Amino acid sequence: MKKIINKPENIIPELVEGFVSANSRYFEKVLGVNGILYKGRRKDKVTLVIGGGSGHEPIYSGFIGRGLGDASVAGNIFASPDPGAISETAKAAHAGHGILFVYGNYAGDNLNFDMAEEILQDDGVKAAHVRINDDCVSAPVERINDRRGIAGGVLMVRLAGAACDLGLSLEDTKKQVEHVADNLRTIGIAVSPGQLPGLDKPTFELGDDEIEFGMGLHGEPGIKRDKMRPADELVDVMFSHIVKDMPLKAGEEVCVLVNGLGATTMLELSIAYRRVKQLLDKAGVLVYDADVNSYATSQSMGGFSISILKLDEQIKKLYDNPCFCPFYAKEGKA
Active site residues: 56, 218
Residue 289 within binding range of its own copies, rule CB under 8 A: yes
Nearest to residue 187, comparing CAs of 145, 152, 221, 158? Answer: 152
What is the pattern of x (binds its own copies, CB under 8 A) and - over residues 152-191?
A: ---------------------------------------x
The SS3 of residue 110 is: helix
Residue 144 within binding range of its own copies, rule CB under 8 A: no
Binding part of the chain for its own copies, among 165-173, 212-220, 243-251, 270-278 by CB under 8 A, reads 270-278
Residue 304 within binding range of its own copies, rule CB under 8 A: yes
Q: What's the CA gap between 321 and 117, in Å, rounded? A: 28
The answer to whether the CB of 327 falls within 8 A of the CB of 295 is: yes
The answer to whether the CB of 133 falls within 8 A of the CB of 148 is: yes
Q: Which of 268, 296, 309, 319 binds its own copies (CB under 8 A)?
A: 268
Q: What's the CA gap between 134 and 118, in Å, rounded? A: 26
Q: Rounded to the nearest 10 degrees, how much is the dihedral formed by the CA atoms of 224, 226, 231, 237?
A: -40
Site for its own copies in 11-70 (CB under 8 A): 11, 14-15, 17-19, 21-25, 54-55, 57-58, 62
Q: What's the CA gap between 30 and 36, in Å, rounded? A: 6
Is 104 or 302 the residue whose CB approaches its own copies more closely? 302
Residue 300 within binding range of its own copies, rule CB under 8 A: yes
Alpha-helix runs per DSSP H in 82-229 = 83-93, 107-122, 153-165, 170-182
Binding part of the chain for its own copies, among 88-96, 175-183, 294-302, 307-315 by CB under 8 A, reads 294-302
Q: What's the CA gap between 29 and 67, in Å, rounded? A: 19
Residues of this chain that bind its own copies (CB under 8 A) = 1-7, 11, 14-15, 17-19, 21-25, 54-55, 57-58, 62, 77, 191-192, 197, 208-209, 211, 228, 230-232, 234, 256, 258, 262-274, 277, 289-294, 297, 299-300, 302-304, 324, 326-327, 329, 331, 334
